[in-house]
Amino acid sequence: MRDSFNILLLPGDGIGPEVVEAARAVMDVAAEHFGVELSYEERKIGGTAIREEGEPISDETLERAKASDAILLGAVGHPDFDRGPVRPESGLLKLRKSLNAFANLRPVTVVPALLETSTLKKEVVEGVDMLIVRELTGGAYFGEKVEGEEEASDLTVYTREEIERVARVAFEAAEGRKGRVTSVDKANVMATSRLWRSVVDDVAGEYPGVRVDHILVDAAAMFLIRDPKRFDVILTENLFGDILSDEASMLPGSMGMLPSASLGEPGTPGLFEPVHGSAPDIAEQGTANPYATILSAAMMFRHALGRPDIAGGIERGVSVALEAGFRTPDLGGEKSTEEVTRAVVKWTAAGEGVA
């Protein structure tokens, strides 16, 4: 196993710098505990980059991202740019496309310590453990756009190759889980969804040990609230995956708990970021929930750096901190970002029971 890595940090906007700083503190203590050396480079993205560099992400930052072992991102977005010609979010889309990070993994797990924070009944969310696999570089987000005062359009395009490669990620993940893939589409009205369904069925033939079923996106949204435990791996396209994963983030009680990994072909750097947004309304107040970014760092060690031992150590630190009652306001607690971070650092460094 390698014992030295170069990490690119992209704190971004709003609470992004606060949660990335928290994750870095945890990564540092985990690396020290396991005898690993981490080197960091920090660059701009989003609104911060527009203000200081004139664009949401520079070509130099894109090159540094490609040269890194992995990228940890905070959040992008600020209302100052909502009506401007260039939006902060375009920097994130450009980064994903540049890395060819086509598969977004978003695990949704309801831990016992947070059963009471969900707005759903305990018996509905207890035991929820799913993985949402979202196609990330195609669909309406990247299609040709027409924008005007009287008419606008976003072209949705998918190719067989794009669907095949993300489907294989989902099926391979299911092989290590409960062996079930639920493919979500809108095949009753959309041509791209009918292609999606056909290709997923073709790929399913390569994985005889995995069951596959298809469900329309509106029904999937309903079942996420009514019976979320029915899902193991959810596979879906870019737009649907964005919406459904944000909905699913409410199962454990807060979007501040969900990490994500955006992965390309083997050997390329992955992009790791919390699911939540930049939340400029609470920036610099010391109340931001850092758990999702810390867990994104754990996913980074597992999926990009080949160090599941370090990932397990960080995840244990998070679990113990939650069990000990370290919760930010979004989780119904009163702990600050700094207090939560110190707790995770403490129990990550302890190293007891590390996988």
Q: Which residues pair with 187 in a beta bridge?
A: none
Which one of 250, 267, 295 terminates a domain? Answer: 250
Residues 294 and 330 in one domain: yes
Range of the domain at 227: 129-250
Residues 321 and 262 in one domain: yes
Is 22 part of a structural domain of the chain? yes
Average pLDDT, the chain: 95
Distance CA(183)–CA(232), nearest Å, equals 11
- Tell which residue, 254, 227, 144, 162, has the closest CA to residue 199: 162
Residues 73 and 19 in one domain: yes
- In terms of DSSP H, where are the helices of 205-250? 217-226, 238-248
Count how many domains the chain has: 2
Q: Name the band, by pLDDT with cuts 50, 70 and 90, for residue 352.
A: low
Is 124 part of a structural domain of the chain? no
End-to-end Cα spacing for the chain: 16
On the question of pLDDT at 353 being above 50, the answer is: no
Q: Which two tokens stand for residue 315?
A: 């995840």
Residues 238 and 270 in one domain: no
Residues 156 and 219 in one domain: yes
DSSP state of 30: H
The whole-number average pLDDT for the span 230-234 is: 98
Which one of 250, 271, 298 terminates a domain? Answer: 250
Residues 199 and 180 in one domain: yes
Residues 92 and 28 in one domain: yes
CATH number of the domain at 329, please: 3.40.718.10
Distance CA(340)–CA(355), nearest Å, equals 22
Q: Name the band, by pLDDT with cuts 50, 70 and 90, for residue 159.
A: very high
Residues 2 and 92 in one domain: yes
Cβ neighbors of 345 (< 8 A, separation 6 or more) are: 25, 26, 29, 317
Is 328 part of a structural domain of the chain? yes
Residue 316 three-state SS: helix
DSSP state of 331: G
Q: Name the band, by pLDDT with cuts 50, 70 and 90, for residue 146.
A: very high
> On the CB side of 155, how many CA atoms lie within 13 Å of its CA?
7
Residues 138 and 243 in one domain: yes
Distance CA(352)–CA(350), nearest Å, equals 6
Is 115 part of a structural domain of the chain? no
Which one of 193, 227, 250 terminates a domain? Answer: 250
CATH number of the domain at 208, please: 3.40.50.2300
Positions of E strands within the chain = 4-12, 37-42, 70-75, 103-109, 129-135, 145-146, 153-154, 180-185, 211-216, 233-236, 259-263, 270-274
pLDDT tens digits for range 293-326: 999 999 999 999 999 999 999 999 999 999 999 9
Q: Name the band, by pLDDT with cuts 50, 70 and 90, for residue 83.
A: confident
Is 262 part of a structural domain of the chain? yes
Is 352 part of a structural domain of the chain? yes
On the question of pLDDT at 138 being above 60, the answer is: yes
Find tokens 């995995």 and name the residue.
Answer: 210
Distance CA(173)–CA(130), nearest Å, equals 11
The greatest distance separating any two alpha carbons of the chain, rounded to the nearest whole angstrom, comes to 61
Is 106 part of a structural domain of the chain? no
Is 47 part of a structural domain of the chain? yes
Residues 245 and 270 in one domain: no
Residues 141 and 214 in one domain: yes
> On the CB side of 353, how many CA atoms lie within 13 Å of its CA?
7
pLDDT value at residue 355 = 37
Pairing assessment for the beta strands 270-274 and 259-263 based on DSSP bridges: antiparallel
Known catalytic residues? 141, 186, 218, 242, 246
Residues 203 and 288 in one domain: no
Q: What is the CA radius of gyration of the chain?
A: 20
DSSP state of 231: -
CA distances from 30 to 64, 194, 213, 348 (A): 24, 46, 40, 6
pLDDT tens digits for range 192-206: 999 999 999 999 999
